[in-house]
Amino acid sequence: MTSSRGSEVLRPPRGGSPPRDSVALATGEAVFLAPIAAEAAQRHWADTPEDRERYGDAGLAWCAHDTQYILSWAFLGRSVLAAQLAWLARVLAARGYPLEHLRRVIKLAADVVEERHGDAAAEAVASLRAEAASLPV
């Protein structure tokens, strides 16, 4: 399905390098990123009717896709997360996407990681929250 965005057509993500599927915590526990990204995207979508209207179903797919990348960066460390989020924020801002919405989905992703993995993922959760707070909006 495609959605109209002004004169552009937004298509669901395809091709290119996919985001990581999972990461392993120091405890050996696996963190499956796609379900966390999907949950954060769904929560964000539920509270942002303007995104649903502007981007449609393809926008939800993009939100989950980008959030899965964000999660993988968070588990690689805060410096990786910071650098990649700076890049992503520039790309999204250039496309007219409100960075406050990016900040919100990052916070939601941190919430879902914490709910599902607790203290075992505390470092990634802290990085996500800190970087969300430092985003320029």
What domain count does the chain have? 1
Distances (CA, A) of 118 to 33, 74, 107, 108, 131: 15, 15, 15, 14, 19
> Is residue 88 in a domain?
yes
Instruction: For residue 10, report the phi and psi dihedrals to the nearest 5 degrees.
Output: -95, 120
Q: Note the pTM of the prediction, 2 decimals.
A: 0.88
With respect to residue 64, please indicate whether it lies within any of the assigned structural domains.
yes
Q: Give dist(CA 66, CA 69) in Å, integer.
A: 5
Residue 53 lies in a domain: yes
Report if residue 116 sits inside a domain: yes
Residue 126 located in a structural domain? yes
pLDDT tens per residue, range 79-91: 999 999 999 999 9
String of b and e for 20-43 (b: at least 16 CB within 10 Å)?
beebebeeeeebebbebbbbbbeb
Report the alpha-carbon distance of residue 106 to residue 36 in Å, rounded.
11
Inside any domain, residue 13: no
Which pLDDT band holds residue 53 (cuts at 50, 70, 90)?
A: very high
Token pair listed for 31: 């963190």
Domain with 125, as residue range(s), is: 37-134
Residue 99 domain-assigned? yes
In a domain, residue 6? The reply is no
Contacts of 77 (CB under 8 A, 6+ apart): 127
Residue 2 has pLDDT above 70, yes or no: no
